[in-house]
Chains A and B, each alone.
Chain A
Amino acid sequence: MSHDPGYNFAYLDENTKRMIRRTLLKAVAIPGHQVPFGAREMPLPYGWGTGGIQVTAAILGPRDVLKVIDQGADDTTNAVSIRRFFNRVAGVATTTRTPEATVIQTRHRIPEATLTEQQILVYQVPMPEPLFRLEPRLTETRRMHALADYGLMHVKLYEDIARHGHVASAYNYPVMVQERYLMSPSPIPAFDNPKMHRMPALQLFGAGREKKIYAVPPYTAVRSLDFEDHPFRPHRADAPCTLCGSRTSYLDEVVTDDRGGRMFVCSDTDYCEDRQSTQAARGEQAA
């Protein structure tokens, strides 16, 4: 497969890619620290994955196999659009199978399958600053990160617990990286946070509009903020997947009628399909 000859491989020019790679190296060297970079205007809108796309474009090689998911699914429209973009401008092979991918670009989910050292997970990040709801000023949050002054976030979590009995954040749940930098895991469900901890795969985060890149190198400690008497607890809908029966995967709720009917299905479509086909194969063997 070849790429569109009208554009450089993976769309960005080589100087831009080099600039992004330098930023990535710095980000990997300081896990969880947001590194500013000269994000380019992409032919996709800001907020639709331009940061992730730029990171992917900078690391992609001709032999890479790319998987793109949005909400855990390969077939959501924006994932389809981004996959088509790279298919066109980089001509790389694409896949929906998690184990086959070398680069996985994601929005809002971490795949259920355990990732390996051979894989890179690229997150699309809308707001890289974990403190932005508490302090919108970047000059202020920059100072707070420099001093590791994260009292504001702890107070917020404490107030949640005092008011509601537990933390009210269900996604984009703040994490501490290597016990130094407070980091936004991007709007993944809190359910996914534990997967970031000591993940064998390299995790890269790109925020195009906010012009920041950060990273979690393989096997880095990532701790969801909590208190001794209120330990972090990830939640999922209390049901099995209707399609594959999984009781451990993160579920989407699908409304099936207007009388309160609903079913729960895996948000990770590849995980779900894989389980279904394995079950079908077992069924055939048994028969």
Chain B
Amino acid sequence: MAYVAVKGGEKAISHAHDWLAETRRGNPALPELEVDQIEQQLGLAVDRVMAEGACHDRGLAALAIKQAQGDLIEAAFLLRAYRTTLPRFGHAAPLDTATMRIRRRVSATYKDLPGGQVLGPTYDYTHRLLDFSLAAAGEAPPPAPQAAVAQPEALRVTELLAREGLMARDSESDAEPPDLTRQPLDFPASRAARLQNLARGDEGFLLGLGYSTQRGYGGNHPFVGEIRQGHVTVAFTPPELGFEIELGDILVTECQMVNQFHGSKAEPPQFTRGYGLVLGAGERKAMAMSLVDRALMAGELGEDRVAPAQDEEFVLLHSDNVEATGFVEHLKLPHYVDFQSELEVVRRMRATAIAEASSPAEKELAE
């Protein structure tokens, strides 16, 4: 009987997973990808998975990419599900990106500035021509030439503006920042919660929203005050020690977008900043994040909130790709109970509509 076909879910699941494992491995005649190779040679994928998986561990991110066959959202999900099992020790001291060991730093607002412009390992200015020489295994490229002197610490561009009073300073706070992995998002959200949400958010979603602000949906004439990328030290004060210890260095990308602000009753005309910070070398996301961050400040700055990117609930509740993918994909779960009740309703409504259409006179008489 046909009905029997829906039984045996357990066996079907187990066989499907066997098939998945086989598909993941691909042709066994070819050598298996090593996690180290992914970590080294697919580094930007690893960075994205760490950022959206909200977990800084290159090895685990590379493993997740391997397990997910390169599906980066699936990989971020794997990393998140692992991360959530780890205990929370507390929060680190704020990263001091002014002391970053810079490997890339560009400003679009100044031709030259203290600390200089550093291009770093970038795809900018490469011609996007497929490099067929990479198709065959070859020699490793020779080491790139290095500057004779180490890159000095560089003051942040926004700090230069702030010292002149041209840039609004963000208020400092010693309050413990919210942790979105522990407390649900509440509205209106604090800036810290917003930035945390955006930092974990989907790159594609933020890119689209950031782009929309440039096309007139809530734009603010952004300039890249500065993008900097490099290593910063993470410091933490364990309560039982009572003094700060360094946990290690992480690679981050920071973007500070400088935006015109005409002033309001409370604030004189000045520049305002949109801020983006992501784990790894996710420059595109850091830029998009800083555009969206600035757009979300519309309410606080007394600007009209009319565009999607300025709508806090809309942005923050839809930015998380692990949440989004789960809910979109849950539509493939069985819904036949709901569908059955819809069927009954549509059939009843059709019967009523057809009866009314066929005998309008009788209906009038009846009334």
A residues lining the B interface (CB < 8 Å): 7, 13, 36-43, 45-48, 50, 70-73, 75-81, 84, 107-109, 126, 136-139, 164-166, 168, 170-172, 187-191, 209, 211-212, 235-237, 243, 250-256, 263, 265, 267
| B123 contacts chain A at the CB level, 8 A cutoff | no
**Which residue in chain A gives the minimum CB-CB distance to B317?**
A138
Contacts of B6 in A (CB 8 A): 73, 75-76
> Which label, helix, strand, loop or mixed, suits the secondary structure of the A interface?
loop
**Contact: B335 with A168, CB < 8 Å?**
no
Given contacts A77-B13, A126-B327, A189-B337, A38 and B183 within 8 Å (CB-CB)? yes
Contact A108 B337 (CB under 8 A): yes
Within 8 Å by CB of A75, from B8, B337, B340, lies B8
Q: In angstroms, how far is the closest chain A Cβ from the Cβ of B257?
A: 27
User: In the complex, which residues 327-358 of chain B have their Cβ closer than 8 Å to any Cβ of chain A?
Assistant: 327-330, 333-338, 340-345, 348-349, 352
**CA distance in complex: A192, B304 (Å):** 45
Asked if B334 and A253 make an inter-chain contact with CB atoms under 8 angstroms apart, the answer reads no
Assembly CA distance A47 to B182 (angstroms)? 19
Please tell me if B87 contacts chain A, counting CB pairs below 8 Å: yes
In the complex, chain B residues whose CB is within 8 Å of the CB of A40: 84, 181
Interface residues on B, range: 35 or more
CA distance A171 to B85 in the complex (A): 35
The docked-state distance in angstroms from the alpha carbon of A46 to that of B181 is: 14
Return the CB mask of B12-51 against A: 1 if under 8 Å, else 0. 1100000000000000000000000000000000000000
Listed A/B pairs (27) with beta-carbon separation below 8 Å: A13-B85, A41-B81, A41-B322, A42-B84, A45-B322, A45-B330, A75-B7, A75-B8, A75-B9, A76-B6, A77-B13, A126-B327, A126-B330, A164-B352, A168-B345, A170-B338, A170-B344, A172-B338, A187-B338, A189-B340, A190-B341, A209-B327, A212-B184, A235-B344, A237-B344, A252-B340, A254-B2
User: Nearest-CB distance from B17 to chain A (Å)?
Assistant: 10
A255 neighbours in B (Cβ, 8 Å): 2
Kindly list chain B residues whose C-beta atoms are within 8 Å of the C-beta of A76.
6, 9, 334
A80 to B16, CA, bound (A): 14
Distance of A72 from chain B, by nearest CB (Å)? 6
In the complex, which of the residues A43, A84, A256, A263 has the most CB atoms of chain B within 10 Å of its own CB atom?
A: A43
Is B243's CB within 8 Å of the partner chain A? no
A48–B84 touching, CB < 8 Å:
no
